[in-house]
Structure 1
Amino acid sequence: MVSPGILLVDKPAGLTSHDVVARTRRAFGTRKVGHAGTLDPMATGLLVIGIEGATRLLTYIVGTDKTYEATIRLGQTTGTDDADGEILTRAAPDAWDAVTENAITIGIATLTGEISQVPSAVSAIKVDGRRAYDRVRAGEDVVLAARDVVVSRFDVVARRQGEGILDLDVVVDCSSGTYIRALARDLGAALGVGGHLTSLRRTRVGPFDVADAVGIDDLSDARTLTPAQAASRILPALPVSAEEARDLRHGKRLSDQAPRLEGTLAAAIDEDGSLVGIVERRGADLKSAMNMPEAAR
């Protein structure tokens, strides 16, 4: 029997997130595999993979904040807002006069904090049941609705000047749903020279770091985090007695136990160190928001 767990994978460029899931299924001998957040084929870095019953935890991981390392190329726009697309425009030589260090600083500041962002049309967002990128590739004109996101860090760590281009290496901390390609596009537009992404690497998803991830060729020997270990990173751990664990597993509430939670959710861990499930406040009581399957604890 395949043990449930959370697997951290360092995705290489050229593979889709679905490719990584397919390889994980083969390596672990199970169909029940999912991931917490897509990476474009061009992108590298951390994919959080759920195996067997631990896939239920992905719901609580997908919405966590993330860190990216990226390179923004100013001076060119592409049809996909990244290096996979055809170059559409190149900045005129006199347009660079306005691209001062101060102008870049102001442009980045405008894209930091709580912002409204229009995702790239070439994205996995569904429009009337179909992925936006499928509609674009079919020749449709797709304009996605703006969404509110939070960019808590947007730092330039290096820059390289080339002929007709300026590359900025950046580090971005942001909320789930933020498109780094859109940041590149919008910064370039604000500076009047255009911009797109030439590299993207996700280094963190919530409490999980790419430094702890395995390579795509090492899946067969990879060790996973147990459901209890993973859940305790995502949420506060709540120790429960054997009787409380049994009640939660049977759908019963823990009467008058809500004060034991500091927040709204916690990972209930039984006396054996296994994950019972995720519990939440319900009035003065605690109840299960999600129970783990018996074999997945």
Structure 2
Amino acid sequence: MTSTTQLHSVQDSHARFEAGDDIADHGYPATSDAAGGDNGNGPTRNVRAPKKARATKPIPTDRLSFENQLAVLKNVAITSGNTRRGSNSNAMSAAIGLKGDTGGLIARFFRSAGWFELADARGEYTASPGTIAWNQHITVDSTAQYDAAAKMRAEVAKSWFWEVLEPMLASGHSIRDSLALLELAKAAGATNHVPQLTMILQWLEWVGLIVIEDDYLRLRADRDAPAEPGEDSAESVVVSDGESNSDADDVAEEMTPPQLTTADESRGRPAGVVDTEAIVSFTLSVRLTADDLQVMDETQRDFVLALAERLRG
């Protein structure tokens, strides 16, 4: 019996990290059992499984959940701070409770999104100005995600994936997510990468550029942003573009005197219609309550009552 020893090439860790390889697996291919021989009854042997082709564009890793990717983003923003201190893949892993360099697998995608920048030290990244601003804002007000990510939206607008999707969404109409994924796959040279490409859509929704509804996505408008505290108060009611606003309707109803009628309406004629049969026609409506009379002085009350008596004829 003879034995063979498989030799695996070893690449520079930083080079593979920057290239976006799954460095945590150390390059060892997966194996599967396959039957040998022409009739399928031969001895069992190890056969290398086909390796997934690498995408030509940076895409998120499927080795980290979206929540862990977000945790890496925030940790690098905290580490960077105003001094722009860098973080390597081991530090990113430690931030989410992992060992090794798995946490760094998302770094290349974040750099393509404009949210990470290369640090001075080899293999390290710092957060972009937009990412740092987001973290500072969200730390003070955790409910202000949309406003906090404003600079990050400007940064990611230059990414390869937004250049693919933005023209498809520019009309304002919704498109199927499957169509968006297909175009992203074409642009990235990505086959069998649906989970990673789907994460791109998740990140675009997170940063506030798109809205995902069922199997469709569309551009996010300002009106889609969560209402800030106090926006729904009666003092700040704004009605635009002819859209109904329930608060404004309620205020209008409260302001309309319920007993106010015009002479035209009392005769069954719609208000505002000119009476062509009359030689002289005008409408005067006066309504005084007991409270109104109490705030008048005696001269004012006498004048109003005398006027009403004369008009009654």
Larger Rg over CA atoms: 2
Greater relative contact order structure (CA < 8 Å, 6+ sep) = 1
TM-score with structure 1 length normalisation? 0.22
- Structure with bigger strand share is 1
The normalised TM-score by structure 2 is 0.21
- Name whichever structure is richer in helix by fraction: 2
